[in-house]
Amino acid sequence: MKIISYNVNGIRAALSKGLNAWLGDERPDVFCVQETKAQPDQVDLEPFTELGYHVNLNSAQKKGYSGVAVLSLRQPDAVFEGIGIERFDSEGRVLRCDFGDLTVVSVYVPSGSSGDERQEFKMDFLTHFLPYVSQLRKERPNVVICGDFNICHKPIDINHPERQIGVSGFLPEEREWMDLFESTGMIDTFRVFCADKDRYSWWSYRGGARFRNAGWRIDYLWTSDTLRGKLVAGDILDKVVHSDHCPVLLEIEE
């Protein structure tokens, strides 16, 4: 099974840049999307349904903001929106789909870069997201949690870490949360297959950051440790350009 996660920074904009053609070539079994920035009635689903995908969306109440989706070649057995807390769920940040004994969650963790209020909101979300995942794993042991976490976990995950001290996305409390998340038995699948530096999934639009590869690795495919023996491949598809992010990939045995 091939799973790809991609913050498209606006699904309509990405479609105008050839997202559907790329998706048709890549053809993942499950395609998790973050930052759709669209209401269901604003998205033309035909480019996806023509490729054979079932489309599930969880949009923010605010138009043109946030939103996640899961596209799958197989229709999910069950679909669940949010984590049960209105202040987070109104922003369309979590979508869960069950396929047999496998659960896939698309998550878009809030950014804290706009100021203290949103940074506090981000940490509050993370505080509640951890028990959500823990409870989910009790009910559904085989879990893939994928998406934009807006956190670089370790110095290897960010360009010039010595210059990023005090920057949202690389704060000690954010990285400590990632440590805690990992310690519960979650696997950062990319690092199972690649220990290289300078592999990133997001680049600022400013200052030619992508050309200089001055990036951040903030997009992840995590699995529960019950799936460790089924991991086949993990990669960052950094040559794919429809967004300021790029897709991240995981292949697992079915």
Which residues are known catalytic residues?
A: 148
Give me the phi and psi of 177, to 5 degrees please. -60, -40
Q: How far is CA 172 from the centre of its chain?
A: 21
Judge whether 207 and 214 are in contact, CB under 8 Å: yes
Sign of CA dihedral 51, 65, 120, 206: positive
**Which residues sit opposite 98 in a β-bridge?**
78, 103
Q: Where do we find the tokens 């997001």? A: 202
Measured distance CA(72)–CA(69) in Å, rounded: 10
Return the percent helix, strand and coil in the chain, to nearest 5: 35, 30, 40
